[in-house]
Structures are given as structure tokens and as C-alpha cells.
Chain A
Amino acid sequence: MTFLVDLLAATLRNATPLVYGTVGETYAERSGVLNLGIEGTMYAGAFAGFATAWVTGSPLLGLAAAIGVGLGAGAIMALLTVTLGANQHVSGIGLTIGLIGASEFTNRLIFQGGELQRIEPMPIVNPFDGLAGLGEVGAIFDQYALTWIAFLVVVPVAWYVLQRSSFGLEIRAVGENPEAADAAGVNVARTRYLALMIGGALMAIGGAFITLALLGSFTLDIIAGRGWVCVALVIFGRWRIGRGVIGALIFSLIFSLQFRLRILPGFGELPFELLLALPYLVVIAALAISGRNVAYPGAYLKPYRRS
């Protein structure tokens, strides 16, 4: 029982950065732009959040700094791919290389490569604490505020905005058929800028969650491919927020499970790196099964020029 409660609590916790990242990437791609800058944006969010919280002593200011960095990263991606119409694959990889480099550069300037610095991680909140009848199971709800916000605020609001609001309709329209959207009076460039900046902010929050809440410290290679996983989850979810979040939960369940398997006898002899690789392989397998000939957004990878 404790094993299961632990596992489910860890699944929600580890899914949190993936949920922010996947929702953010979904916004970018639904507007027609593949943002491979996600890995670097999460990295820069993780670093900027931590460094700001360390300097000011306030995790909330850290979170604000991460959001600022995410908005900026989204704006740079938009400048390149929307205004200039540059190649989206190369722009995204360039953004990731540049942002990881800039984070590590600044990390070196501030911390001089000295010993690992720590901050007080954000507190765990359990709104059901002390609720009679939950008993041991209540521990599942011992989660960080950013996890609660991810599942109870960001996911429903992001879904509602994308599927039910006029702004969401505009995002989907410029991603499917920018010519028609333009003819209908939608400002294609402005809509894509906004989608990329909102997406960038969400990705950066996902990164900041790791340093501000999960670990309370910043280490090199802290994102470790989570951004790439989010890009895969968007395809796995067929560009739907709900399906993407389910994908994030499944990935996180496997990720959390392999951590716990290591302690069990029999698995102890396996090098743990092989178990760590398992979630990535599962994502690829899931794509191979469910991602066959999926319908990409109509204007995916295509810059828009008025002719």
C-alpha cells in the first residue's frame, strides 16, 4: 500500500514539469510552429528561477524570473520563425544550444563553479490534510503548489482557452490555414507570437519547478531530455491538451516506477542507467504504435507570407 501511494505521489510530482512543457509545446505547434527551443527554455527557466531565488531569497521572484525568461525565449523563436520565416528545426536547436550555454555561462559567473548551492524548496501543501477517512492514501495529495496549479488550473484553463475561446480559435486557425485566417481578419503574426510566448512561459515554469520545488538546487544537465520528451508527448497526444497530459502521466508513472524497481532485489544487479533509459524507449515505442501517419497541424513548419 505504501509502495502504491508513494508511486502515485511521485508520478504526479514527476509529471509536473512535463505537463507544463507539453501544454506549452502544444500551444506553439497548434499555431503552426515546432518549438525545439523547449529543452533550452526549460533549462533557462530552471536556472533563472533558481539563481533569482538564491539571490533574492524569494522563490516567487524566482518563478517570476523564469516566466520572464520563457516569454523572452518564445519571443526570440517567434522573431526567427514568424517574422523572418527561418527554418524551424534549426532555429529551435540554435535556441536550445544558446539558452543552455547562456545558463551555464551565468551559472559560472554567479557561483564560480564552487560547491552546490541550495535554497529552501517550495513547501508541500495538502488541502486534504487531516481529512478523516483518507488515512494513508492522503499522502498522494502531499504535493507542491505548482503541481496543484498545473493539474487544477493550467490544464483546464489552457484547454478551455484553446478549444472554447475566440483566441484559441485564432491559434488553431493560423496553425491550420493561415491564408483563411488572414482573410478572416486574424493577425497571423501576432497570434503566433502570443502562442509562442505563452508556450515559452509555461515551458520555463516547468523547468523552474525542478529547481525551485523538486530539488532546491541547480545542477548541470538538469533537464536531461525532458523537453524532447514533451515534443514527443505532443505528437502522442495528437495536439490535444488532455491526451498530452495523459501521456505525461504514463511517462511519469514508468519513470517513477523504474526508480523504485532499483531497490528491489533482482533489479539491483542491472546498471540503473538501463532502467533510466526505459522511459525514453517507451515514448519511442508509443510513438511507433500511436503516431503512425497522424495528421499534423495544416501549417506545421510553414512560415506565412502574404502574397
Chain B
Amino acid sequence: MRSRFRLSPWSTPVLVLAAILITFAITAGPILLAGANPIQAYALFVINPLTSGFTAIEVLVTATPILFTGAAVAIAFRAGYWNIGAEGQLLLGAIAAAGVGMVVGGWPPIAALAAMIIAGALAGAAWALVPAILRIRFGIDEVVTTLLLNPVALLLVNGLLHGPWRDPVTGFPESPRIAAVAEFPQLLERSRLHLGFLLALAVIVIAWYVLARTPAGLRLRAAGLSPHGARFAGINVGRTLLAAALVSGAIAGLAGVSEVAGIQNRLTSGLSPGYGYTGIVVATLGTLTMPGVVLAALFLGDLTVGASTAARSLGIPSQLGAVVQGVLLLTTVALLALRRYRFRPTRPEEGGGSETAAEVGAADVAAEGQPG
């Protein structure tokens, strides 16, 4: 009983904190190269954004798209479906939102917003459909196909912006502005925080509930932990994977809707600086759980806002943000692996070409009895 109240050094919060500290130690190198003081830089990164109301709200704004993509990636990975295509699915959602947003002028706001959200989710799911079918029907690795569709989606955006959707007024490669009724309302005066943030939280609460409390969620987790075991228990693993892939694509598509309707108010080619890939960082750092995704997205949002301030005041290139994300992903996955072999000295079970979600640490979390 005593051990129950002791915080194990291998418990998830301690492990994630350790991953963050190791990451900071490693990225002190590039900060020193840029001629800045790492301690001062990290203080700016992490603490500074929280010291004023305006920047604290900016943290929420920055966290909004990666809340969506983090949840999207986490759901797919929990099912053992390696969707690396959230970036492309986000862009398709953005295209759909802009397409609908440009023609709904004069509609009631509720109808306009609903049409955009539904179109974006469907577009994201549609972009995820082909890799999912290829995987489930023909055993073709979804990692490669979802990855390859990311540059295709970006080319589609650029094709539209240099072609039919080029802004006729400015001539810039940007789409015309969406109708005023299609813009997401601001949540607070004089801030960029918009309806998308609430939508992201709603999606995450629903995802948490479905994963933790419904038979569909149980099937999804079972398929991820052990496809063979799930099949043996009578679960239709193919259908479960398809559902996970489509839901994941739809949620990633909503990230695109949110950026178009809440921030840009038009389709632009620089809409996503890699939010789909950051979603993988968020999902992994959040150990594939929905509460974890929220914390990880807020942390990365904080870091991103802080890094842009630090870039200005300390002369550190803002590209450091990407370095931190990459190193953070690597240290997290390394520590999760260390923990797995500490507690499970046996090798992973024999399987086919694909690997189970247990490999990212979801199994450990489930074993600790934390739902969702």
C-alpha cells in the first residue's frame, strides 16, 4: 500500500518532466552557438509568455491547431494505425473551409459555421481514406502513403492559389477572404482567441469519453495493444482501423478549418508551419492520452510563443523551436523505451509488418489504470 502514494521515478509525469529537462540540456548547445545564455533563454521560453494576459492568451491561440492534430495523431496511434499524414489532412480541411467560406455570404452564421466545419472534417477524412483502404485491404504500409500525400496536399493548395483561387483584387497567391458570417467569432475582446479553441477542447472531451468509456473506444484500444488478441476476441480489426483513420483525418481537417476561419480568414500557402508533424510531438509527449495531449499542446504553445519573443530579444533564430520539438520527441520516445524494458524485460510479441501501439507507451499508461 505504501508504494501507491510514492511517486515512482518511472511514472508518466516524472518521465515527461525528465524528457523536457534533458531536451533543454541538449538544446543549450545551439543557444550557446547563437551567443545567448541558455538559462535566460529558457526562462523567456517557458515563463515569459505566462507573465502577461496578452501573451498567455496567445499561448492558447498557438495551442489550438496542435490540440486538434495532437488528438488526431493520438487516436490513430492508439489504434496502431500510423497516420503521419495529419499535415495533409489539415490542409484539405483548410481548402474545404475556404471553399465553403467563400460562398456562404448571406447565410445565417450558425449554418455557415456548421457547413464549414462539416466540410472540413469530411475533407480531412477523405484525404485519410485512400491510405487506410490500402493498408486494410492490401497490407500497404500507411506510413509511406500518408507521408507522400502531405506534399501532394501542399501542392494542391498552391495550385489553387496560383490558379482559380488567386485573389483577384491583390493578385497575391492567397484566396479571396471568406464571408464575414463564416469567420469564427472571437472569444475575448482584442485577442486572437477564437471559437476554434473551444471546438478543440470539445473534440478532446468527446474523444476522451469515447476512448475511455465506450465499447468503440475499447475496441480501438484493443486493436492497438494487440491486433491478434483483438481479432481473437471477435473484434473486426479492419473496420476499427478504418474508423480510427477516418476520425483521425477528420479531426486533423478541423485544425485546418480552425486556422482558416479563426486566424487567416482565407486560404494561404503558409497556413501550417508543420502543425501536422507537431501533432506527433504533442501526442507522444502526452503519452497518447487526451489529458496528456491537452497538457502537451499547452506546453508547446507556451514554448512557441516564448521562442518568438526570445528570437527578438536574445537574437536566437526562431527555428530553435523546431530543434526543441525534434529533440523533445526523441528524448520522450527514448525514455518511454527505457521504461518499457525496465518493467517488461521480454521482447515484444511476434507480429506482422506492423507494430502495436504498446510500442509508444500506451500500454504502460493503460496498465497504470489511467483511462483515455
Contacts and interface: CB of A to CB of B under 8 A. Distances in A.
Interface of A: 34, 36, 40, 76, 80, 84-91, 93-102, 104-109, 224-225, 228-229, 231-232, 235, 271-274, 276-277, 280-281, 283-284, 287-288, 291-294, 296, 300-305, 307
Given A96-B326, A97-B329, A109 B33 contact: yes
Contacts of B139: 292-294
Contact of A225 (B141, B150, B324, B329): B150
Given A94-B333, A102-B30, A232 B323 contact: no
Contact of B355 (A104, A292, A301): A301
A280 B148 contact: yes
Interface of B: 30, 33-34, 82, 84, 130, 134, 138-141, 143-145, 147-152, 155-156, 158-160, 162-163, 274, 277, 280-281, 284, 317, 319-327, 329-330, 333-334, 336-338, 340-341, 345-348, 352-355, 359-360
Contacts of B163: 271, 273
A34 B212 CA distance: 32
A100 B323 CA distance: 8
A303 B337 CA distance: 10
A292 B140 contact: yes
Chain B's interface: helix, strand, loop or mixed, by majority? helix
A11 B148 CA distance: 21
A101 B284 CA distance: 19
9 contacts: A80-B334, A86-B337, A90-B329, A91-B330, A97-B322, A287-B144, A293-B139, A301-B354, A302-B348
Contact of A108 (B158, B317, B352): B317
Chain A's interface: helix, strand, loop or mixed, by majority? helix
B159 A271 contact: yes
B329 A277 contact: no
B107 to A, nearest CB: 29
Given A90-B360, A109-B34, A271 B323 contact: no
B337 A101 contact: no
A232 B320 contact: no
A286 B150 CA distance: 17
A295 B155 CA distance: 32
User: Which 10 pairs show the lowest CB-CB distances between chains A and B?
Assistant: A98-B326, A101-B322, A94-B329, A273-B159, A108-B317, A97-B326, A271-B163, A225-B151, A86-B337, A271-B159
